Amino acid sequence: MATALCPGSFDPVTNGHLDIIERTARLFDDVIVAVIRNPQKTQSLFDLGERQEMLREVTAHLGNVRIDFFTGLLVDYAKEHGAHAIVKGLRAVSDFDYELQMAQMNQRLSGIDTFFVSTSPQYSFLSSSLVREVARFGGDVSSMVPRTVAERLAKMFTPSAPKES
């Protein structure tokens, strides 16, 4: 029984993330998608509960995928939950330096290896931060995120109708 761990901020989950999760679910018996509680990079747009809820909705068709969260070191969570591998998507060379460094650090700390899955080309430009920015200024992200995410973003950024006087 091989368990893979797909960690991330998922703020919000994109079609690129979902592609990696689906492909990981075909390769491993059990997949844990673990959402970091406090992403350091940004003030998060969606809170932890919302990020997990969206992930549950969009992975509902995958019977061997479960959603959880973690705080602290990823490798501590990985060891506690018996993960055999960490799986990450790689979009471009620009991802590689940092991802390699993290993979080597995680390997040194825990002995757990990281496996990189190449992002499908149609998603290689996609990131949660760009989706947030485009959605914030009213751009159409409906082809880049699952429908539930697009709806939540639209709700969040659609100006409310002016009140009648």
What is the contact surface with ligand PNS in residues (CB under 6 A)?
7-9, 36, 39, 41, 73-74, 102, 105-106
Angle between helix axes 147-157 and 48-58 (nearest 10 degrees) is 150
Task: Kindly provide the b/e burial profile for residues 7-44, where b requires at least 16 CB atoms within 10 angstroms of the residue's own CB.
Answer: bbbbbbbbbbbbbbbeebbeebebbbbbbbeebeeeeb
Q: Which amino acid is at 119?
A: T
Residue 30 or 99 with smaller CB distance to ligand PNS: 99
The catalytic position among 9, 17, 51, 152 is 17
Q: Is 163 a catalytic residue?
A: no
> Would you say 71 or 122 has its CB closer to ligand PNS?
71
- Give the nearest distance from C-beta 107 to ligand PNS in angstroms: 9
Q: How far is the CB of 159 from ligand PNS (least distance, A)?
A: 29
Extract the tokens encoding 108.
């040194």
Is 17 assigned a catalytic role? yes
Q: Is 128 assigned a catalytic role?
A: yes
Closest approach, Cβ 105 to ligand PNS, in A, equals 4
Q: Is 61 a catalytic residue?
A: no
- What gap in Å lies between CA 92 and CA 82, rounded to an integer? 30
Active site residues: 17, 41, 91, 128
